[in-house]
Amino acid sequence: MADLSYSYRNEIQSKLASGVATEHTYRPTLQNLLQELAGNAIAILNEAQQVRHNAPDFTIRQGGVPIGYIECKDLDADLDSIERSIQLRRYRKAFHNLILTDYLEFRWYVHGTRRAQLRLGIKQGSRIRRHRSHLSAATFFKGFFRSATVEINTPAELATQMAAKAQLIRETMVSIMAEESATTQGPFRAMCMKLQEELIPDLQDADFADIYAQSAAYGLFAARCLTYGDGRSVFSREHALGVPTTPLLHHLFSGIVGPFADPRLTWIVDDLVQLLAGEHFGDFLRDFTAEGIGKDPVVHFYELFLGEYDPQLRVQRGVFYTPRPVVQYIVRSIDSLLKTKLALPEGLADQQTVSYKPADEEQVQSSKVLILDPATGTGTFLREVIVHIRTNLESRGLAGAWPDFVQRHLLDRLIGFELLVTPYAICHLKLALELGRPPLPVALNIGQRFRVYLTNTLLEAAGKITGIFPADPVAAEALEAARAKSHVRIRVVLGNPPYSVESLNPHNSRLRFA
């Protein structure tokens, strides 16, 4: 080890003496030292192409999995000031195993706290003098390479770790969007413009970045919950593509976790995957239930996550979990009013139909009980409607009719609008899980979906929908949302509306109520 340190200092000294060395000049020397110390089982990757997109300078991988990161600064850098910088605070929060170095001094952080420090030399003018450290380089880097396990003891700790990585994805996407705006049209810029055109007219780059960050973080979390429940010990980002979603969500998500995902983002996503893939995840699931937050972490963890990721957004968008007893009371009350005031003897489960003719369309026959949640969030109210109807059938000895009722009557009568992508995704997952509950689980057929749409409820339906339906998933979502707003006669509106005094959206709505 002494020979390696000696050779390393000599090579740094030689490059310094050239008079034209920069921070990047020393990276190959450091990479060689690290590779010698790590051995063949660990890869030391110089992420030169990713640095402009918030990536640290080196990623350390073992078996393809990131186990640590190294951020390099020049020989004259003030590490004390850099340690307090926004960049390092962000890195220390997002990466559990990180080294900051000026190529001579190495500061190692675990879970954001400095664990150890190593100095291999001191720069004095144009010379590098040897420095005797109480800690050997072999011991220091051995500890760094082996500190790959992320320990999560509580749901709050997982929320903090996930939020930090999601914030980094968001900032990286902002950087990518700025870069693509100077090009003819990159893939993310094209997607953003399509969403603006079809679904979210006031969508800004920062909003688009937020969509991708939350989709990546929470989509992977939901996928991990499902794969863990299935008893699978191996977890990768590709597993997230198997989460029940709409064509739109699959289209969005494939750019983050699919086989052709953008490498400018996958370095962060892979780190998030490792966080979720750890052996601690089973403890998290047990602790989550034990703390009384809810039996289903896929559903109830989102409020906790968003509180860490962006607490202001959580308040502005009204993302608060409504206690189930409140939801149950509202659903039961609506069921009673339908029976007593609107001559629908079966309430929410009533099978009576009505015919009407929307403008520019043929005659339509639909259920008299069309239910809309205009701010559906994660679908708590729509799920409770499903539970109530199923219980109603069971109480009348008609439990065996449930699968047929779902296909013929239920799917069409539930409608939801949601502005945020992640709650929208969770809602679809939640409703699918509820239908799949024994003893008579019902799965959606190929091509079927819940009528929950990504749209701004307060925006009037677009007059013309462009794109090819159904091949274009963005246009398809916009078309279906527009039809639900303008052509569907809603009888029941329920849910938990946003309570902020000032709405973030000034637009008016023209929904038709019958």
pLDDT in tens, 238-295: 777 766 668 888 787 777 777 778 877 887 888 788 888 876 777 777 766 555 445 5
Higher pLDDT: 134 or 276? It is 276
Query: Residue 471: what pLDDT?
Result: 66
Domain 2-146, CATH: 3.90.1570
Is the predicted pLDDT of residue 441 greater than 50, yes or no?
yes
Question: What is the average per-residue pLDDT within 64-91?
Answer: 90
The pLDDT-based confidence of 52 (bands split at 50, 70, 90) is: low
Enumerate residues 6+ apart whose C-beta is below 8 A from 384.
324, 327, 328, 331
Higher pLDDT: 178 or 30? It is 30
Higher pLDDT: 509 or 133? It is 133
Distance between CA atoms of residues 171 and 176, nearest Å: 9
Lowest average pLDDT, out of 61-75, 134-148, 328-342, goes to 134-148
How much of the chain, in percent, has pLDDT values that exceed 90?
A: 23
Domain boundaries, the chain: 2-146, 155-316, 324-493
Distance between CA atoms of residues 107 and 116, nearest Å: 6
- The whole-angstrom distance between residue 469's C-alpha and the CA centroid of its chain comes to 27
Question: What is the average per-residue pLDDT within 153-163?
Answer: 82
Distance between CA atoms of residues 193 and 214, nearest Å: 19
Is the predicted pLDDT of residue 429 greater than 90, yes or no?
no
Own/partner pairs, 289-293, CB within 8 angstroms, 24+ separation: 291/154, 291/155, 293/155
Query: Residue 430: what pLDDT?
Result: 81
The pLDDT-based confidence of 508 (bands split at 50, 70, 90) is: very low
Using alpha carbons, select from 474, 378, 457 the residue that is nearest to residue 419. Answer: 457
pLDDT in tens, 188-221: 888 888 888 888 778 889 888 988 888 888 888 8
Helix (H, G, I), strand (E, B), or coil: what is residue 257? Answer: helix
Query: Residue 94: what pLDDT?
Result: 85
Is the predicted pLDDT of residue 117 greater than 70, yes or no?
yes
Residue type, 155: P
Question: What is the average per-residue pLDDT within 141-146?
Answer: 85
Question: What is the average per-residue pLDDT within 50-71?
Answer: 80
Q: Which two tokens stand for residue 91?
A: 């890195």
Is the predicted pLDDT of residue 96 greater than 90, yes or no?
no
End-to-end CA distance of the chain: 81
pLDDT in tens, 332-352: 999 999 999 999 999 999 999
What burial class does residue 347 get, using C-beta atoms within 10 Å of its C-beta: 0-12 exposed, 13-18 middle, 19+ buried? buried
- In the beta sheet, which residues pair with residue 354? 366
Using alpha carbons, select from 346, 339, 463, 332 the residue that is nearest to residue 385. Answer: 332
What burial class does residue 241 get, using C-beta atoms within 10 Å of its C-beta: 0-12 exposed, 13-18 middle, 19+ buried? middle
Distance between CA atoms of residues 498 and 317, nearest Å: 7
Is the predicted pLDDT of residue 322 greater than 80, yes or no?
no
Higher pLDDT: 173 or 508? It is 173
Packing angle of the helix pair 205-229, 421-435 (nearest 10 deg): 30
Is the predicted pLDDT of residue 457 greater than 50, yes or no?
yes
Beta pairing, strands 492-493 & 451-454: unpaired
pLDDT in tens, 402-428: 999 999 999 999 999 988 777 888 888
Enumerate residues 6+ apart whose C-beta is below 8 A from 403.
440, 442
Chain mean pLDDT for the chain = 81
pLDDT in tens, 468-492: 445 688 888 888 888 888 888 888 9
Helix (H, G, I), strand (E, B), or coil: what is residue 337? Answer: helix
Is the predicted pLDDT of residue 445 greater than 90, yes or no?
no
* pTM for the model: 0.70
Question: What is the average per-residue pLDDT within 119-146?
Answer: 83
